[in-house]
């Protein structure tokens, strides 16, 4: 029976890896999710046959409740709320790893010190990921919008982390497993996760979500070693490595180090002085924009978080189809950190059935902007700010941006004249070739659709 169990775990691990590989392409992503889901099903079912396994009723009830809630929430959640759901589910993974470690620590039975160290490391990392992801969820849900910062915050956070590590070392060296000490350890680790996420603003959320994803994978892998579970080891390692690479890519896309994201306020005085912007924002009517776009040869649409908030992705798809029928070359420019999670814009546009071959990443689309007749910016801000190229003192200087300002005409759909999450004034909005179409993203896009239809 043990051979069958190990083979099943191996099959599960292979399905996880193949599923993750297929998720890297929008064309095969749906199949990849199914493959990984089948792998999880196999791993879960075979665990019931593990030697010494008992408590089948509580396990079955827990799986039924968790699976039922996941099925219900997965069907109910709007695509615009996907970032907070991902943050929440990721946190549950870290919490599960921490719970496994807590049970093992309370048992106090480890074959060697190395297994104990792995259990405690998984508990620490998993607890941080759990509480930090919950804070990220609250921020994305709008329950805690403003970053919380106070004097000496980093010193306080380091003290929490040092205390957690101190208790970890004490547990490893002395092997003393009192319930009070274990409780204090988890309380400090959970508190550090909360304090780590509280000061981080919305602009950094894609990086933070990726980081917590990597931490969850690492915690699961550690606990897999403790339980001698091959599926957990391989799945956790794959998730941890993929999350780490994604975190690095997200940070690179913002030209910031991971340490800067975690320990430095973005867009405050710490980041440098903002460049003085001269001129004024020039409004335009939807009817005029409709004419401009209908008779253009090339149009690039640049979506951002504002499109997600306005739930305008379906209207944007309808507008693009109208323009394409008129012979306009339409492309979508996707910045790696547009939105509140990695791939946020890709997910929304896919949900609206925008063809994959119309989506271009930053490196692919930037050379096309000088030949673009109209660049339509809907909800994007910092990712199109030319200040990132011109002002070395700006907090966003060096951040790779979409070169929308190089287009012949730029139309920006925006509710008002506010700044982006970086707190930096956007020089694009004041440029001579830019016009502002003020209003709700969905409402303004509907007006553009009607304007194009009348021509």
Residue with the larger pLDDT of the pair 423 and 324: 324
> What is the number of other CB atoms lying within 10 angstroms of the CB of residue 225?
18
Tokens read off for 59: 């396990």
The pLDDT of residue 450 is: 96
Per cent of the chain over pLDDT 90 is 48
pLDDT at 376 over 80: yes
The pLDDT of residue 262 is: 67
Domains and CATH numbers, the chain: 77-263 (no CATH), 286-453 (3.40.50.1220)
Instruction: Tell me the C-alpha distance between 213 and 245, whole Å.
Output: 11
pLDDT at 276 over 70: no
The pLDDT of residue 436 is: 95
Three-class SS of residue 376? strand
List pLDDT tens digits, range 207-266. 888 889 999 999 999 999 998 888 888 889 988 998 888 888 888 777 767 776 666 554
Residue with the larger pLDDT of the pair 125 and 178: 125
Instruction: Tell me the C-alpha distance between 62 and 68, whole Å.
Output: 10
The pLDDT of residue 269 is: 38
Query: Alpha helices of 254-312 — where are they, by DSSP H?
Result: 258-263, 286-294, 305-310
Mean pLDDT computed over 253-282:
61
pLDDT at 285 over 60: yes
Instruction: Tell me the C-alpha distance between 347 and 332, whole Å.
Output: 13
The pLDDT of residue 242 is: 86
The pLDDT of residue 206 is: 77
Residue with the larger pLDDT of the pair 376 and 422: 376
Mean pLDDT computed over 345-365:
91
Is 382 one of the annotated active-site residues of the chain?
yes
Model confidence band, residue 412 (pLDDT cutoffs 50, 70, 90)? very high
The pLDDT of residue 145 is: 66
The pLDDT of residue 130 is: 96
List pLDDT tens digits, range 291-301. 999 999 999 99
Q: Give me the torsion for CA of 192, 395, 439, 405, rounded to 10°.
A: -140
For residue 25, give the nearest of 337, 247, 311, 350 by alpha carbon. 350
The pLDDT of residue 337 is: 85
Model confidence band, residue 199 (pLDDT cutoffs 50, 70, 90)? confident
pLDDT at 357 over 50: yes
pLDDT at 401 over 50: yes
Q: What average pLDDT does the chain have? A: 87
Residue with the larger pLDDT of the pair 265 and 157: 157
What ranges make up the beta strands (E) of 224-371?
A: 298-303, 329-334, 359-361
Mean pLDDT computed over 31-49:
90
Question: Which of 2, 361, 382, 393 is the catalytic position?
Answer: 382
Chain-centroid distance of CA 34 in Å reads 21
Per cent of the chain over pLDDT 70 is 93
List pLDDT tens digits, range 123-142. 999 999 999 999 988 888 87
């Amino acid at each position: 029976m043990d051979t069958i169990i190990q083979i099943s775990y191996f099959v599960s691990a292979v399905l996880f890896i193949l599923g993750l590989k297929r998720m890297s392409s929008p064309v095969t992503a749906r199949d990849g999710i199914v493959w990984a889901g089948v792998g999880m099903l196999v791993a879960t079912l075979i665990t019931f046959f593990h030697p010494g396994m008992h408590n089948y009723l509580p396990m079955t009830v827990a799986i039924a409740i968790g699976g039922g809630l996941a099925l219900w929430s997965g069907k109910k959640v709007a695509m615009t709320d996907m970032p907070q759901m991902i943050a929440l589910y990721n946190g549950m993974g870290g919490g599960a790893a921490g719970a496994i470690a807590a049970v093992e620590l309370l048992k106090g039975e480890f074959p060697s010190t190395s297994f104990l160290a792995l259990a405690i490391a998984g508990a620490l990392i998993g607890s941080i990921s759990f509480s930090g992801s919950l804070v990220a969820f609250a921020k994305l849900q709008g329950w805690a919008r403003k970053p919380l910062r106070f004097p000496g915050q980093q010193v306080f956070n380091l003290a929490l982390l040092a205390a957690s590590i101190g208790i970890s070392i004490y547990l490893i060296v002395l092997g003393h497993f009192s319930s009070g000490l274990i409780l204090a350890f988890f309380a400090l680790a959970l508190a550090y996760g909360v304090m780590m996420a509280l000061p981080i603003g919305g602009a950094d959320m894609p990086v933070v979500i990726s980081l917590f994803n990597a931490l969850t994978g690492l915690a699961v892998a550690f606990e897999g070693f403790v339980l001698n579970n091959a599926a957990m080891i391989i799945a956790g390692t794959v998730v941890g490595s993929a999350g780490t690479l994604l975190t690095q890519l997200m940070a690179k896309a913002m030209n910031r180090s991971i340490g800067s994201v975690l320990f430095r306020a973005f867009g405050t005085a710490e980041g440098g002085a903002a460049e003085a912007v001269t001129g004024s924002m020039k409004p335009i009517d939807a009817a005029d924009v409709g004419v401009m776009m209908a008779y253009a040869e090339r149009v690039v649409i640049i979506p951002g978080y504002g499109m997600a908030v306005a739930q305008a992705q379906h209207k944007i798809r309808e507008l693009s189809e109208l323009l394409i029928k008129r012979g306009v070359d339409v492309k979508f420019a996707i910045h790696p950190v547009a939105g509140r999670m990695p791939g946020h814009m890709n997910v929304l546009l896919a949900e609206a059935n925008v063809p994959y071959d119309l989506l271009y990443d930053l490196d692919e689309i930037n050379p096309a902007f000088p030949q673009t007749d109209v660049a339509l910016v809907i909800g994007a801000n910092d990712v199109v700010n030319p200040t990132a190229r011109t002002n070395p003192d700006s907090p966003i200087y060096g951040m790779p941006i979409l070169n929308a300002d190089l287009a012949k005409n730029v139309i920006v759909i925006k509710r008002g004249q506010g700044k982006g999450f970086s707190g930096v004034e956007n020089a694009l909005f004041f440029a001579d070739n830019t016009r502002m179409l003020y209003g709700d993203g969905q409402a303004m896009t509907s007006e553009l659709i009607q304007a194009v239809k009348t021509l």
